[in-house]
Amino acid sequence: MEPNGYASSSTRLDATFAALADPTRRAILARLAKGEASVAELAEPFAVSQPAISKHLKVLERAGLISHGRDAQRRPRRLEARALRDATQWLENYRQFWEAQFQRLDSLLDDLQRGKRRKRAVRGIRKAGSLRRAQGRLSTGLAPGSE
């Protein structure tokens, strides 16, 4: 893939994020998620004028989040699910991907520590004194703030 491809998809996503930053526009998307609607129908629940709603619709349309139907009179707007999906997935994907890895790492670290504690307990019975001295040296070497 060319760097240009990344840049253009990045620019498109910037427009999408900007469009999603406004609560009225998010509410419009929520309404359209239930099915297509005309400008008048979309303006109804809001305390703003139809021209104001039209402005919001233009922003959403430029961002690729909505499109309008062919019916010349109603020009019903509909949700473009794909653009919305792309925009909302990125950080969530990143976070979920890494959190799943880290939770497995938590379990591994638990197992390692349990194993270590078991070994320590066994050794502790055999030679408690020397182990305590060894642990003392170990914890000094790994003291907080030693980096």
Partner 1 sequence: MKNSGTFNITAHGDREIVVTRVFDAPRRLVFNAYTQPELVKSWLLGPPGWSMPVCEIDLRAGGKYRYVWRSDSTGKEMGMGGIYREVVAPERIVATEKFDEAWYPGEAVDTIVLSEKDGRTTLTQTILYDSRETRDAVLKSPMQYGMAASYDRLEKFLPTVGSEALSA
Which chain residues interact with partner 1 by CB under 8 A? Answer: 1, 3, 6-7, 9-10, 13, 23-24, 26-27, 29-31, 33, 81, 84-86, 88-110, 112-113, 116, 142, 144-145, 147
Are the CB atoms for 24 and 46 separated by under 8 Å? yes
- Provide the token pair at 84: 């919305």
C-beta of 130 vs 135, nearer to partner 1: 135
Q: Which is nearer to partner 1, 122 or 142 (CB)?
A: 142
Beta pairing, strands 66-68 & 77-79: antiparallel
Q: Shortest distance, CB of residue 102 to partner 1, whole angstroms?
A: 5
**Shortest distance (Å) from residue 46 CB to partner 1:** 10
CB of 18 to partner 1, least distance (A): 13
Q: Give the phi and the psi of residue 79 in degrees, each rounded to 5.
A: -75, 135
Minimum distance of partner 1 from residue 88's CB (angstroms) = 5
Give 82 or 123: the residue with its C-beta nearer to partner 1: 82
Closer by beta carbon to partner 1, 71 or else 119: 119
